[in-house]
Amino acid sequence: MARRNRFLSGRKINTSPIKKNATVTHLVEEYFQAYNAGRLSEACRLFVTKMLQPDVTIGMSLTGALTPAGLGGSCVVPLMEAGFVDWIVSTGANLYHDTHFSIGHTLHQGSPFMDDRILRKEAVIRIYDILFNYEVLLDTDDFYRTVLEAPEFQMMMSTAEFHYKLGKYFDARERALKRKHKSILGTAYRCGVPVYTSSPGDSSIGMNVAETALYGNRCQFDVLADVNETAAIVLEAKQTGGRSGVLIFGGGSPKNFLLQTEPQIQEVLKIDEKGHDFFIQFTDARPDTGGLSGATPSEAVSWGKIDPDKLLDTIVSYIDSTVAMPIITSYALAKRKARPLKRLYHKREAMMNRLRRAADLAKRKTARKKRI
């Protein structure tokens, strides 16, 4: 009897017809078999079987216009409520556009093949194939400027603290309007999920903060606090016997900010650490152009961002996030029970204390080595 080839040990390709009304779970497990469908299936399985273990702290990054497409309320919110996401790094734009729904506005499906000169005359904004009235932007700006007048915003703060304070207003507004939509920031406030923006000036939220500063408002972003707080979250996970995982939609600055926590711990603070334990990314960016968005997990190993011993627990699926996010969300909610909320926002001070102690210890060790 011929010996079985070790390269042919994988599951046989399934060619049976897809049945009508097939579930997302069934499609992922039986019909997403190769190419980027195969990587999406692997990502779903890795997320559910390993990353959602109780000891894993999961950070998510959001890039691209995801919330205008409805993915904030439909996907990010359920993931937070289920305890499947513990902290977030997002573009400010995603948080800003999510606000439209919270304050009672609607966005509409359209076409990417419209004459934008006519849209401009009709005061219609286009995000590829999503359309909405220009007044939506103006009302959202007014909402932010009104909220920013509150006394609790008259100080310098990390973006997590800024977003938490905003979340209280989102929560109140959503309750008052009795709408089905739940916002990212309102949910983060209720669940204690810290939300960071790596480039807070690069969005309409930051633009409105800048406008109020012209007239004496004292709200400022402490971006250095963001760097240390996010590093403290990862160190807390690792030094308390847990693990760290990252779930990346898109790339850009939020991806780097999520991953640079480990170089901050190892390279800058000199704390003995090995990198994130799990890595899932959905992207359309190529690695050969040199951009961070397309940088692979193996490249991240060279920076200390990913534990070299955990490279097998990393997956990149080259697929649009608007396709991947609903699928992995639905699959996770179907396969796993909710995890207890870690409520990391409320543990920031304790985590920062741990980071300071570890950094001080590492500094003393480095000084001793230099003397020797």
State the catalytic residues: 305
| Ramachandran angles phi, psi of 91, nearest 5° | -65, 150
Pairing of strands 314-317, 220-221: unpaired
Residues 6+ apart with CB under 8 A from 17: none
CB 247 within 8 A of CB 280: yes
Chain mean position to CA 57 = 13
Dist. CA 133–CA 152, nearest whole Å = 31
Which uninterrupted H or E stretch holds 279? strand 278-282
The CA-based angle 263-269-273, given to 5 degrees, is 55
CB 313 within 8 A of CB 279: yes
Give SS3 for 252: helix
Residue type, 318: Y
